[in-house]
Structure 1
């Protein structure tokens, strides 16, 4: 499967819906305009320079650092919408909401956001399923990957294994030995092989939508001077209850209510919402949701 069925001009067709259900991903070329992308990139600079608020792991700007020097320090920042109205606005913009309401549910909530910088030389994320980290368990979890600049094989675009979401289970995690990946472990993708993988190269402003059970990864940024910035939101149907402790960062709950609505109505509005998640810098060596990291977070309190 080498042809990518695209959303044209932001209008979701029945063919698009069938494609997403069959292959587990969908591309919307140029879904966000240049004004929106420029606004997001400008706001990313404010975030990493500490002008948007306190973020765990963001360091003071050095006197002689250029903006690029500062951006290069960070692979990604989790929950940027907690300090940025710009990030939250675009993660829930009409263009995104329109697609999600057609392929997920008329009622959609956002569970988290992530801002990726991925400077030259930064590693990628190993093969994984988002459902492993965000346990909706009703198969409504979906990511929306907004390209803040062109993403291709050289600077570390996404790769997917089409149809892998249809198996519907969380794959075993095994040690990672690939130097392209920042993770200590990865999903065991057997029996899939290289011939089953496709790269999803996109232009600035395009959005990739992908299923929570879909196997996907990205390789290291091998370019000399190009970043691969992206804003990613994770969403689910508003009907699902979310037993998510954020890999051990929060106390366990049957329904994490640190969410915001993107489309439709919230059937659990009577519960209210809470402000639990704190923005933080993703570590260069990733061990999210491992036994070791959970024990460390428990010790740190």
Structure 2
């Protein structure tokens, strides 16, 4: 796909799927590292469960939903932030200067609930709307095991959060997508494929309804390095006009004179999720 085609597809629909961007060997390394992280081999994270050494990787992973900021403890995940294929696409749809501020490793096992409808920019505000999610499929993602759902091209503004009453989702709130519901599509992708989506793009994932399939995915968030990042990590950090806990992956950082900080620490995602909500 040409640069112009990439840009047009992303701008028109708010997302882009690139099949086979990761090789089989790269995916195998991510899958092995996922087991290493959740079994504590990359360091203990608060809330990790003590388990017998002979327990299978699958049994370990069934105990968890996701970990935030795994790149802080895993050289394999940190290296994935710079993946050449990913960065090549990002420099086309964002610009030449790109930084990463977050990684998340999802291990949605059988029966686990999904994420409700949301827009990433609601949680991670940028000054220029350059936020881009990079969703890397470690396992095949299907409707049955809880793949992404996206509403292409809508909306162009931040929508109101409302109470969630669906058992499909773990979150306490969601977005009422009734006006756009007929346009929602499942994004089923094979292992190694990557979904890029804009910070304003409406997306969700449903419950994993299989009995024996995981839906493992590494999700990293990037933005233009030319923009400041006024993110307090959902209230976990002091308010700031420009969070400098970032990783430059392409081009130049015009704010390099500020230096960088190491403030975010890896944490386990709870089953019932309350990150940031306007619901009182």
What TM-score range do you get, normalising by the shorter chain? over 0.9
Give unpaired runs (5+ residues) of structure 2.
Answer: none
CA contact (8 A) 2:144 2:210 kept: yes
Structure 1 length-normalised TM: 0.90
Gaps of 5+ in 1: 1-6, 294-301
Q: How does 1:202-217 map to 2 (within 5 A)?
A: 202-217=189-204
Whether the 8 Å contact between 1:243 and 1:253 is mirrored in structure 2 is: yes
Partner residue in 2 for 1:234: 221
Question: Is residue 2:79 matched to residue 1:92?
Answer: no
- 2:234 aligned counterpart, secondary structure: helix
Q: Deviations over 1:123-145 (max 9, x none)?
A: 00000000011011411000000
Partner SS for 1:171: coil
Q: Give the alignment partner of residue 110 of structure 1, picking from 58, 77, 100.
A: 100
Residue 36 of structure 1 aligns to a residue whose secondary structure is helix
Quick check: 2:109–2:215 contact (8 Å CA) kept in 1?
yes
1:34 counterpart = 2:21:
no
1:239·1:266 contact (CA, 8 Å) conserved in 2?
yes
CA gap of 1:224–1:277, structure 2 versus 1, over 3 A, is same
For the 8 Å contact 2:141–2:190, the answer to whether it is kept is: yes
- Whole-angstrom distance in 2 between the partners of 1:220 and 1:94: 32
Q: Structure 1: how far apart are the matches of 2:178 and 2:212?
A: 35
Displacement of 1:63 after TM fit? 5.0
Write the mapping of 1:30-69 to structure 2, written as runs, cut at 5 A: 30-63=20-53, 65-69=55-59
My pick for the range that moved more, 277-286 or 13-22, is: 13-22
- In the superposition, the TM-score normalised over structure 2's length comes to 0.97
1:78 equivalent in structure 2: 68
- The whole-number CA distance in structure 2 between the counterparts of 1:56 and 1:102 is 38
- 1:255 is paired with a residue whose SS is coil
Q: Is the 8 A contact 1:171 1:189 kept in 2?
A: no
Aligned-residue Cα RMSD (Å) equals 1.4
Distance 1:78 1:292 in 2: 23
After TM superposition, the structure 1 = structure 2 runs for residues 1-301 of structure 1, keeping only pairs within 5 Å, are: 7=1, 12-63=2-53, 65-165=55-155, 167=156, 169-193=157-181, 195-290=182-277
